[in-house]
Amino acid sequence: MAKRVLLGMSGGVDSSVSAVLLKEQGYEVIGVTMKLWEGEIEGSCCNLSSTMDAKSVCDFLSIPHYTLNFKDTFHKYIIQDFVQCYQAGKTPNPCIACNRYLKFGKMFQMAQELQCDFVATGHYAKTEFDQERNCFVLKKANALAKDQSYVLYNIPKEKLGQVIFPLGEFETKQKVREMAEKRGLPVAKKPDSEDICFVPDGDYVRFSEKEANIQPETGEIVNQKGEVLGEHQGLYRYTIGQRKGLGITSKVPLYVLRLEQEKNRLVVGEEKELYQKECVVLDVNWLLPKIERKPQEWMVKIRYSKQEKLAKVCPTQFGAIVQFQEPQKAITPGQSAVFYQGDVIVGGGIIQ
């Protein structure tokens, strides 16, 4: 009897090719698209047109398709957290939260209801059984330029054996598109969705103000010495490392160094002042068994767009302390630090 897979489908090329691969590998595939957001936002991965694209692919492949309404869950765990993080002076990554609570949370519940053996998505990553470690592990995809393992570290380690990433072995995104065209998929030429699905224009400030009815509270912009340089327009409008839009003049370029919530102050400084060697990471999800509480050298990635760097990581009762070999630029509270041992993900958590 064929193993049954619940495949998350956004209507894009990646999840559609994943459906083809799973079906050709002999799985019984069920496609599911999550309704997460109200309205039709151009370029979004979860709007009505994307749902229709996913359904057309499933019809083309003769596999069943479901649309699930998770708007309330999405609003609670992703939208509210997104806005609250900015209000608290942090910079969130909503894709990580969505993977945690929706794609590998609610989807697993749905998989159980449909008696599915596996959950799959079109992410660029790999899961496999590691003989030496005697457990399933999460690994980087072969297509390193598209690797998405960073945003997947929150998958519960006990569920890794039930997760399939069909695109993990592809070397490039172009190869995926070529397969889509070869198989005649109706979404073969559909462009990628790059922005946050609910903020497609990238204006998170306007979104946050509208969503939470935030009223900007002005305050001082100061340097490290406490000297007042100007006035900010609400701390939630700024992020660590930001240079443009500060509204102050200086002989040298100034960057946001930190947001002091209690004093309602924005601290700025020169680029060299952005570099730090240490950070605290909480809410850590460890993906490997028997993590010892002693300093260990791993590669650490502090943003999706950055390369991982060598660091000494000391697991603690509440998370981990990370000490980089070389100072890192703009370590940002709210972003995630993910630990790598070679191409295997050890774990990850939220930077404080």
User: Active-site positions?
Assistant: 98, 197
| Burial (CB count within 10 angstroms: exposed 0-12, middle 13-18, buried 19+), residue 168 | buried
* Pairwise CA distance, residues 298 & 342, whole Å: 8
* Pairwise CA distance, residues 191 & 199, whole Å: 17
Q: Are 124 and 146 in contact (CB under 8 A)?
A: yes
Beta pairing, strands 125-130 & 135-140: antiparallel
* Pairwise CA distance, residues 121 & 227, whole Å: 51
- CA-to-CA separations, 305 to 18, 150, 151, in angstroms, rounded: 24, 10, 11
Residue 65, token pair as written in the block? 């398709």
Q: Are 57 and 187 in contact (CB under 8 A)?
A: yes
Give Cα 122 to chain centroid, integer Å: 14
Alpha helices in the chain, H assignment, sequence order: 13-24, 48-61, 71-74, 80-87, 94-98, 107-113, 173-182, 204-212
What three-state secondary structure class fits 220?
A: strand
Sign of the dihedral through C-alpha 187, 69, 214, 99: negative
Q: Are 248 and 238 in contact (CB under 8 A)?
A: no
Report, in angstroms and rounded to the nearest whole number, the Rg of the chain calculated over CA atoms: 22
Residue 49, token pair as written in the block? 């047109």
Beta pairing, strands 28-35 & 65-69: parallel
Give Cα 41 to chain centroid, integer Å: 20
* Pairwise CA distance, residues 122 & 181, whole Å: 17
